Structures are given as structure tokens and as C-alpha cells.
Amino acid sequence: MSNFETVKKYLLEMGFAFDVENGDEELVVVTDEERGIKNLVVDCEDPIVILEQVMMELPSESASVYKRLLQINRELVHGAFALDDAGTTLVFRDTLRLENLDYNELEGSIEALSLAMAEHGQELLTFRP
């Protein structure tokens, strides 16, 4: 079984349906709004799997917002909040090694996003422009 097939199997076991599945790119997009998951891209890029969810646009050049995001990152179990290449969009991002990925590890990363949203979602909304 390929790494991509294994990741898909784990996601299905977690109860996710695929909003998008692209076998050529080896990626899927999943949503479970009750868990704070909306359009989470799960992209197998050997040797890693990348989990990335766009959170929201950010105000331009706000040092206080960036400082607070770094403080929140310290509290996260897995992954981190980051900026997109343009520096205007907040994303949650995590990477895991595919070679020995197991169900619990992938589930832990996804649950970390859910926990981050439960603990910090309301505060993150205050950062919107």
C-alpha cells in the first residue's frame, strides 16, 4: 500500500469524507466543522505529509498579532500557526514523516488543530482586519 493510500485509510477511519481527492498530486481535502476542521489539505510530498488549513486574512503588519501568534504556537501540541508566502494569510501547518507514520500520529496532529481552535478560535477571530 502506498503512503498516500495509507494516509487516506487513516483519514477514513477517523470518520472524514474527502471534499477533494487528487491522486496525481497525492492530496485530499477534508472538513469537519464540529472539530474546527475546514478545508484541511493533507498533501503527501514524500518524505513528508503536510497538513495545512487556511485560517483567515490578517491585518497588515501587526506586530502585536504576530507576537501573540508566536505565544500561542508555544502552547500547541503539534503544528504551528504560520503565514502564507505573501504574509497576509494565517494558516495552521504541520508536517509528519511518511516513512513510519501511524494512525495515532496523524490523528494527534489533526486533534491538535481541533484543540487549537477550541482553545484559541475566539481570540483568533479578533485578529481579523
The per-residue pLDDT for 62 is: 83
Report the CATH number at residue 95.
3.30.1460.10
**Percentage of the chain lying above the pLDDT 90 cut:** 88
**CA 7 – CA 100 distance, rounded (Å):** 11
Kindly tell me if the per-residue pLDDT of 128 is higher than 90. Answer: no
For the entire predicted model, the pTM comes to 0.92
Mean pLDDT on 70-81: 95
Q: Please write the tens of the pLDDT for every residue from 18-69.
A: 999 999 999 999 999 988 899 999 999 999 999 999 999 998 778 999 999 9
List CB contacts of 119: < 8 A, sequence separation 6 or more: 75
Domain that holds residue 53: 3-125
Amino acid identity at 54: V
**Arithmetic mean of pLDDT over the chain:** 94
Tell me, letter by letter, the H, E, C secondary structure of the chain.
CCHHHHHHHHHHHCCCCEEEEECCCCEEEEEEHHHCEEEEEEEEECCEEEEEEEEEECCCCCHHHHHHHHHHHHHCCCCEEEECCCCCEEEEEEEEECCCCCHHHHHHHHHHHHHHHHHHHHHHHCCCC
Mean pLDDT on 6-24: 97
